[in-house]
Amino acid sequence: MTEKADIAVAKFLEHTDAEAASFFDACVRCGECAEACHFFLSTKDPHFTPTYKLEPMRRAYARDKAPFSGLKKAIGLAPKPVTEEELVEWGPLVYDSCNMCGRCTLVCPMGIDIAGTIRKMREGYAAAGLAPEGLERSVEFVKKTSSPMGVTLKALEAQIKHQEKECGIPIEIDKQGADYMAIFSSMEIMGYPEVLGAYAKLFKKAGVSWTISSVAYEATNVGVQIGDGPLAKEIVKRVVDAAEALEVKHVISPECGHAYGAIRWAGPNMMGRQFKFEVVHIIELLDKLRREGKIPPGKKDGRKITLHDPCQIIRRGGLLKEPRSLLDDSCDNFVEMKYAGLTNFCCGGGGGVSANPRAKDLQTKAFSRKMGQLDAIKDLEAIVVPCGNCRTVFEDGLDEYESDYEVLGLSELVAQTLAE
């Protein structure tokens, strides 16, 4: 084995805990997971069968960690060692064709968590320097500026100033003792800054005190995407330290899929302790404020609108009813797409795929599943996409397929349809 293969295999074995080992032993190769994965469905390429993507890690386990592996090695019955060439060949299966969306787990008769195991497998790739260039570049930006797109505090302040002017409401940075501290993805700050104005409008109406930290405004956790545990922890720690220094009671996770899982579910485990504040998703918070009568709905949007459920918010985050309740209040003509909710298809860009230019063509192919869901709705006009990353994937995908549905954020829609 080369040095890179040694490093990757050592990490694979380190991350083959009891759960991963039981998955490797339990897979009966039935192939059911293929029929759930949008990469397989849109290409019919058997390489994209979810369980196949795990093969190098499974082989490393079978050779070096599985029961009787030592004996099997001694009598020449162990599988061959994983080589660097194989790891390079598998790279597109590990990074380009898995959004870590969790749809395959829903159908697996053995309950195998492919997404979680891909996440562990990426630890080996990242440690060996075999992660895709696009994600490596994001890591460099995060190390320099805390943002995977290189968004500096100065750039954030400029966006805030512009939104303050637009909505006529001040947005305070580093407000000590605020009830809520909001974090945003770089994609929202630069691509959809109106979300800042929407928060200002909604929270003013609700009488909610909130702030943005000057040192921890970024929600994106590129450590989770690339498979770098220490970096993922560092990114979570930055937010935790800032929130605890400002003594806020809650941190608001934004309209971003993986950021929610990273800070809310994985975050306390990474830090090894409970936080001194509660993490809430913006959709949960708006739904709560709506039910408390603090952000009453006004004139509804009359267009025919559907909802895309971002995987990490619905399947791994459980927010099913809340966005629907907000949409029922905000739209006259809200319709569900086929496979809405838990079984919704990923847009194709999650899990770091959209930050990986090598995966662009495959991502576009995978988006054809989404196009099918959208085009099946007669006279559809707009789609609410409550994740900044999914939103860009939708905009690109709709362009590629020459479709002109409008793409909207949920917070902006709720703010636009708020009672005067």
Binding stretches for ligand SF4 (CB under 6 A): 27-33, 36-37, 39, 50-51, 98-104, 108-110, 112, 114-115, 346
CA nearest 138: which of 129, 147, 125, 148? Answer: 148
Q: Give the nearest distance from C-beta 109 to ligand SF4 in angstroms.
A: 6
Query: Which residue, chain included where needed, has tokens 């691509």?
Result: 191
**Nearer CB in complex with ligand SF4: 46/357:** 46
Closest CB 106 distance from ligand SF4, rounded Å:
9
- Minimum distance of ligand SF4 from residue 390's CB (angstroms): 14
* Closest CB to ligand SF4 among residues 33, 270: 33
Q: Quick one: 52 or 141, whose CB is closer to ligand SF4?
A: 52
Nearer to ligand SF4, 145 or 343 (CB): 343
If the CB atoms of residues 48 and 203 are measured against ligand SF4, the closer one turns out to be: 48
Complex with ligand SF4: residue 39 or 334, whichever CB lies closer: 39
Distance CA 41, CA 38 (A): 5
The nearer residue to ligand SF4, 186 or 354, going by C-beta atoms, is: 354
DSSP string, 367-398: HHHHHHHHHTSTT--EEE---HHHHHHHHHHH
Cα–Cα nearest to 348, from 376, 387, 294, 303: 387
Give whichever of 33 and 242 is closer to ligand SF4, judged by the CB atom.
Answer: 33
Q: In a 3-state reduction of DSSP, which class is residue 255? A: coil
Q: What is the DSSP track for 141-199? A: HHHHHSSTT---HHHHHHHHHHHHHHHT----BS-TT-SEEE-B-HHHHHH-THHHHHH
Nearer to ligand SF4, 102 or 409 (CB): 102
Smallest gap from Cβ 79 to ligand SF4, in A, equals 17
Q: Which residues contact 34 (CB under 8 A, 6 or more apart)?
A: 40, 46, 48, 49, 50
Query: What single string gives the DSSP state of each residue in 183-249?
Result: -B-HHHHHH-THHHHHHHHHHHHHT--EEB-SS--B---HHHHHT-HHHHHHHHHHHHHHHHHHT-S
| DSSP per-residue string spanning 194-210 | HHHHHHHHHHHHHT--E
In 3D space, the residue among 145, 212, 142, 153 whose CA is nearest the CA of residue 184 turns out to be: 212
List the Cα angle 238/159/407 in 5-degree steps: 95
- Quote the least distance from Cβ 274 to ligand SF4, whole Å: 29
Residue 243 burial (CB < 10 Å; 0-12/13-18/19+)?
buried
